[in-house]
Amino acid sequence: MKSTMIGNGIAAALLCGASLPAAAGTVAITNAEIHTLGRAGVVAHGTIVIRDHRIDAIGEAVQPPAGARVIDAAGKPVTPGLFDAYTSLGLKEVDAVEESNDAAPSKPRYSAALDAADAFNPRSTLIPVTRVEGITRAATAPEAGESLIAGQGAVVSLGSLSNWLVKPKAAMYAQAGESGAKLAGGSRSAAWAELREAFDEVRHAGMPRLSPDHPSLLGPLDVEALKPVLSGDEPLVLYVNRASDILAALKFAEDENLHLVVRGGAEAWMVAPQLAERQVPVILDPRLDLPQRFEILAARPDAATLLQKAGVLLAIAMDDEFNTHNARNLRQLAGNAVAQGLDKEAALAAVTLNPARIYGVDGTLGSLEPGKIADLVLWDGDPLETTSFPKVVFIDGQEVPATTRQTELRDRYLQRLHLGPYAAGK
């Protein structure tokens, strides 16, 4: 698509392809296949200019500003930085080491006041491993653990040790379905009753209780944390899989006037029209394609395709206990969905723009458009192929190093090996 996108009052210069004065740190990626995920679609042979941490211009007629650092993409793809819609990055380091794991509270029933941002570690060794695979932002969230309402997640940047917090209290996380029923004594009905009771307590906070003998379910901080959810200002990301559970979740959200997001959603394709009608997004793992549990008996490999075709806002994320350590495989999940019929641009949107929409940060993130923050990746091949790899990753307009704990260990011991067996032992 031939398109010139214009930003910051420089229309005339861009339209004639003129060179522009470069600000310090200005970068131009030329001769690129740019997947903007915005109005311009795919710019087949384009240039993208990064200036002052933001995207300054995109188009086929755009010329690199004078003095800019120029990167020749040689026809390779450029996409927005990937956005993991659900993980516990920064909250856990080693699953088996309790002291390094802050993801799952053991508090029974409710942990609504828990805030993932309070425990986030921007120096986690898992972040560089994830970042070098092209993931630049993530929604980091508490795991459900023993609580129906697990707590609040945050949108974070994977490129900064100091300015990592993008959006605090971005969503509240809870569970229903099979896992919720286990926490409520083995009954789905009991789980829904307990969730309704919790929100009713928030609604009547500060009012005299009808029965003084009935203890409060929520602490004062839990009540305050749930108020934005009850007002619809903060989404409730609810883990449900069975079609009937999803319909129950829709009714629950309608009764309580909640902004609902379905996570899990293995059988969501069966109720896709209802989800689309009520504009409820789904965070799906396309690998859930076998009847491994009773609540996912109708799971199928093309569920992502069916949801997208029905008009459901679709995000892709890993749904297992390895969602943090293997978050780097996000694009492989999207590739699996493409193999089952999902349009490639829709799959890219499911790991870039759509998560940004779900968490309300799409005004600055998720697509490549002038004025947006410059999170982008230059790939050496198809980004949804496992044989491809990022050549350059930019977060907030800054190129991030391709080093990880693993590469540091590799280099250290390769160097010792090259010194010889005797020198290495000195």
**How big is the CA angle at 84 (ends 324 and 152), to the nearest 5 degrees?**
75
With a CB cutoff of 8 Å and minimum separation 6, the contacts of 117 are 152, 154, 156, 165, 168, 169
- State pLDDT tens for residues 55-107: 999 999 999 999 999 999 999 999 999 999 999 999 988 776 766 766 666 66
Cβ count near 108 (within 10 Å):
11
Q: For the chain, give percent helix, strand, coil, nearest 5.
A: 30, 25, 45
Query: Do 262 and 268 touch, CB atoms closer than 8 A?
Result: yes
- Residues of the chain with pLDDT > 90, as a percent, come to 75
**How big is the CA angle at 298 (ends 297 and 304), to the nearest 5 degrees?**
130
- Residue in this structure with the two tokens 């697509």, named with its chain if needed: 367
Query: Do 320 and 290 touch, CB atoms closer than 8 A?
Result: no
Going by C-alpha positions, the residue among 315, 307, 308, 309 that lies closest to residue 358 is 315
**All domains of the chain, ordered by start, with CATH?**
2-79+386-416 (2.30.40.10), 82-365 (3.20.20.140)
Distance in angstroms (rounded) separating the CA atoms of residues 367 and 358: 14
- State pLDDT tens for residues 264-305: 999 999 999 999 999 999 999 999 898 999 999 999 999 999
**How big is the CA angle at 179 (ends 173 and 180), to the nearest 5 degrees?**
65
Tens of pLDDT along the chain (426 residues) come to 334 333 443 333 332 333 333 444 899 999 999 999 999 999 999 999 999 999 999 999 999 999 999 999 999 999 999 999 999 999 988 776 766 766 666 666 678 999 999 999 999 999 999 999 999 999 999 987 788 999 999 999 999 999 999 999 999 999 999 999 998 889 999 999 999 999 999 998 866 555 566 667 788 999 999 999 999 999 999 999 999 999 999 999 999 999 999 999 999 999 999 999 999 999 999 998 989 999 999 999 999 999 999 999 999 999 987 888 899 999 999 999 999 999 999 999 999 999 999 999 999 999 999 999 999 999 999 999 999 999 999 999 999 999 998 888 888 888 766 666 555 444
Phi, psi (degrees; rounded to nearest 5) at 201: -65, -40
With a CB cutoff of 8 Å and minimum separation 6, the contacts of 339 are none
Query: Do 159 and 136 touch, CB atoms closer than 8 A?
Result: yes
The contacts found for 382-390 with CB under 8 angstroms, 24 or more apart, are 382/77, 383/77, 383/79, 383/134, 383/331, 383/348, 384/331, 384/332, 384/334, 384/335, 384/338, 384/344, 384/347, 384/348, 385/335, 386/332, 386/335, 389/133, 390/132, 390/133, 390/134
The contacts found for 123-126 with CB under 8 angstroms, 24 or more apart, are 123/161, 124/89, 124/90, 124/93, 125/93, 125/404, 125/405, 126/89, 126/90, 126/92, 126/93, 126/324, 126/325, 126/327
Query: Do 34 and 43 touch, CB atoms closer than 8 A?
Result: yes
Distance in angstroms (rounded) separating the CA atoms of residues 239 and 245: 10
Distance in angstroms (rounded) separating the CA atoms of residues 328 and 40: 28
Taken as a whole, the chain contains a residue count of 426
Q: Can you read off the two tokens belonging to residue 42?
A: 């795919």
DSSP 112-134: TT-BGGGT--TT-THHHHHHTTT
pLDDT of residue 214: 63
Distance in angstroms (rounded) separating the CA atoms of residues 77 and 11: 25
Distance in angstroms (rounded) separating the CA atoms of residues 210 and 70: 70
Q: pTM of the full predicted structure?
A: 0.89
Cα separation values, 257 from 231, 250, 277, Å: 7, 10, 15
Query: Do 296 and 242 touch, CB atoms closer than 8 A?
Result: yes
Going by C-alpha positions, the residue among 240, 243, 313, 247 that lies closest to residue 282 is 313
